[in-house]
Amino acid sequence: MSGDPIEIVSLRKQFKDFVAVNDLTFSVKKNSFTGFLGPNGAGKSTTLKVLTRLINATSGNAYLNGIDITVDSKNALKGVGTVVETPEFYGYLTPIQTFQYIGKIYGMNNETIAAQTDEILADMKMSEWADKKIGTFSKGMRQRISLGLSMFNDPSIIILDEPTSGLDPRGMAETREILKNLRKKNNNLTILMSSHMLHEVSDMCDRIAMINHGTLLMEGKMDDVLGANKIRTIAVKVVGGPTDEAIKAIAKLPNVQDPQVSGTTIKFGFKGDDEDQMQLFSEIGGLGIKVYSMNEDEALENIYLNMIKETK
Amino acid sequence: MDTDHPTKAQIDLKDDLRLACIVSKYEGIKFMSGKKILIFGILIAAVLVLISIAILGFGGDNVTTEGGIYTYISFVELLALIGATLFSSVTLVSEFEERTSLMLFTKPIRKSSIFLGKFAAAFILNFVFILFYYVVAVIMIAIKTGGFTDNIIPSFGLCVAYIFSLTGIAIFFSAWMKKSSSASILTFIFILLVPGIVGLVIAAIASSSGASVDLWFILDSASLSVVSTITGEATNGLRDLAVMLIWGIIPTVAGYYLFKKREV
């Protein structure tokens, strides 16, 4: 065993003829915020559901703080906060009663429960709803309660399965803000988060793991992953569409690779750092082309799409 | 060896029981805050009022203590069945149907504690209502006749065993079904019809071969002792008690197995 807070070893989950997770092995580094990426059906949610005891593994092991959840789920889940999709709560309970219920399960005393509940509900901006029945809450409010509960009892690990899924833009922004603040407040926290939203992952996570067809494609530091793929994709939008002259002019610029036209946009690869890119934009501006937009495509998205394409 | 300190297994068991009590308490709160408990309460009150009117108002001087109690207790099996259908049959399935399992199952609590807590809550609730029914029946008859029959105590004991068997069957369907409504309907139909039909089939088969068969092992037959004990007719109370307990234990164990294997 590696000693990492989350360690998955040769994990397999089979639903009848469909293998959702196939001999998956990887670990999540201590105090990291790891984004867990993969297309629909890649096995992300299945893996996280095994880690949170919502489904049983067909074979293999999954360790949380060194305890195998497939063997001793009760002790493995101690010190672990979870948000799986948007969980429902007991509609007849208020947030305070819900925290009391879960606090009692954690074995916390009444004073600690009350103190942590007040603090978490304040962080979640839910204090004024503390004594209202959850059954009346919107999905966004329930997700905030869910995130709050995941932080209850000071966990060392938080597992999030698409925490912004199904939320409106405001709800998504609030959730991301909460998670960022959580990271700022607690450095001794390991977070594993699955998400479809690559900008969300690149914005919040310092490590990523990608899977497809239930197997690991890559895992590493976000900077290393982005750094290892130094070719950026630049999109230049031209009024009236790009002319042949414009394409040729751009192709002659240093470090530009393989310009392609798509509608009014010229897309090309560019090898260089931020300074080089600034210089490139300046040179394109001086070409006399009627450019109305220049930007770098999402780097992580390019890497993600390439990796997924390779495993098809 | 120091025997004063509990072993790890003892500590674990104690903690698991503590967690089962917590689940049970909050399951009780759930029942208390729902409409079903009100409906069940009204139903029990209505039965008590109607029987009381019939006996106290129109019974005249012919009402005996045993006869009066018998009239009350003859409805108790149906009421217990309704109680099991309303509470026990939904207690597990609702966690999956309403997706609250995503919150509860991801916490450090064994599924056995969740199962035990929910079983206990559903059983205790039905038990309390039926106890109330028995107490009111005894009080009403005492008012009418001034008498008390000791037979009410074994009848109540057998009724508790019957509630246990109903809870076991209901919780089996609750662990198996995907929807609360399916679990409730199956519980009600199964308990109301299936044992009786099985008994009839067995009796018919036995009859066709010229033999007669005592259907003591069928739940319906065993539960008759809840009422017949009042008049002293039941001669095999212990056997009936054992049959009802077995009818409770087997589906409870099967239900636990299904619940433990069930995925979200």
Q: Is the pLDDT of residue B4 over 60?
A: yes
**What's the length of chain A?**
312
Chain B contact set for A113 (CB, 8 A):
none
Of A52, A77, A88, Cβ closest to residue B99: A88
Assess A18–B contact: CB distance below 8 Å, yes or no.
Answer: no
Average confidence (pLDDT) over A85-93: 86
- The ipTM estimated for the assembled molecules is 0.89
Give the whole-angstrom CA distance, residue B131 versus residue B133: 5
Digit-coded pLDDT (tens) for B141-176? 999 888 888 999 999 999 999 999 999 999 999 999
Average confidence (pLDDT) over A26-30: 94
Q: Is the pLDDT of residue A299 over 80?
A: no
pLDDT > 90 in chain A, percent? 49
Q: What is the per-residue burial (b if ≥16 Cβ within 10 Å, else e) of B65-102?
A: bbbbbbbbbebbbebbbbbbbbbbbbbbbbbbbbbbbb
pLDDT band at residue A230 using 50, 70 and 90 as cut-offs: low
Q: Can you give the pLDDT at residue B109?
A: 96
Decide: residue A193, CB within 10 A, 0-12 exposed, 13-18 middle, 19+ buried: buried
More reliable by pLDDT, A232 or B46: B46
User: Are B106 and A85 an interchain contact pair (Cβ–Cβ within 8 Å)?
Assistant: no
Q: Which residue of A has its CA nearest to B24?
A: A101
User: Are A101 and B26 an interchain contact pair (Cβ–Cβ within 8 Å)?
Assistant: yes
Q: What is the pTM of this model?
A: 0.87
Give the whole-angstrom CA distance, residue A44 versus residue A41: 8
Q: Which residue of A has its CA nearest to B99?
A: A88
Of B33, B106, B108, Cβ closest to residue A54: B106
User: Are B107 and A77 an interchain contact pair (Cβ–Cβ within 8 Å)?
Assistant: yes
Q: Could you say which DSSP state residue B55 is in?
A: I
Digit-coded pLDDT (tens) for A119-129? 999 988 899 99
Please tell me the distance in Å from A149's CA to the nearest CA on chain B. Answer: 9
Q: Can you give the pLDDT at residue A227?
A: 67
Q: Can you give the pLDDT at residue B3?
A: 58
User: Are A78 and B108 an interchain contact pair (Cβ–Cβ within 8 Å)?
Assistant: yes
Q: Can you give the pLDDT at residue B213?
A: 84
Residue type, A156: S
Range of weakest confidence among A145-159, A254-268, B78-92, B234-248? A254-268
Map out the domains of chain A with their CATH numbers.
Answer: 6-220 (3.40.50.300), 229-310 (3.30.70.100)
Range of weakest confidence among A65-69, B97-101, B198-202, B243-247? B198-202
Torsion of CA A247, A253, A257, A259, to 10 degrees: -10
Of A78, A89, A97, Cβ closest to residue B103: A89
Q: Can you give the pLDDT at residue A311?
A: 63
Average confidence (pLDDT) over A162-183: 84
Domain ranges, ordered by start, for chain B: 8-261
User: Are B264 and A49 an interchain contact pair (Cβ–Cβ within 8 Å)?
Assistant: yes
Assess A84–B contact: CB distance below 8 Å, yes or no.
Answer: yes
B135: its two tokens: 């107490």
Average confidence (pLDDT) over B112-126: 97
Please tell me the distance in Å from A248's CA to the nearest CA on chain B. Answer: 57
Chain B contact set for A52 (CB, 8 A):
105-106
User: Are B264 and A55 an interchain contact pair (Cβ–Cβ within 8 Å)?
Assistant: yes
pLDDT > 70 in chain A, percent? 96
Digit-coded pLDDT (tens) for A36-88? 998 888 999 999 999 999 999 999 999 999 999 999 999 999 999 999 887 78
Chain B contact set for A73 (CB, 8 A):
108, 110
Average confidence (pLDDT) over A275-292: 87
More reliable by pLDDT, B107 or A260: B107
Q: Can you give the pLDDT at residue A177?
A: 87
At A178, is the secondary structure helix, strand, or coil? helix
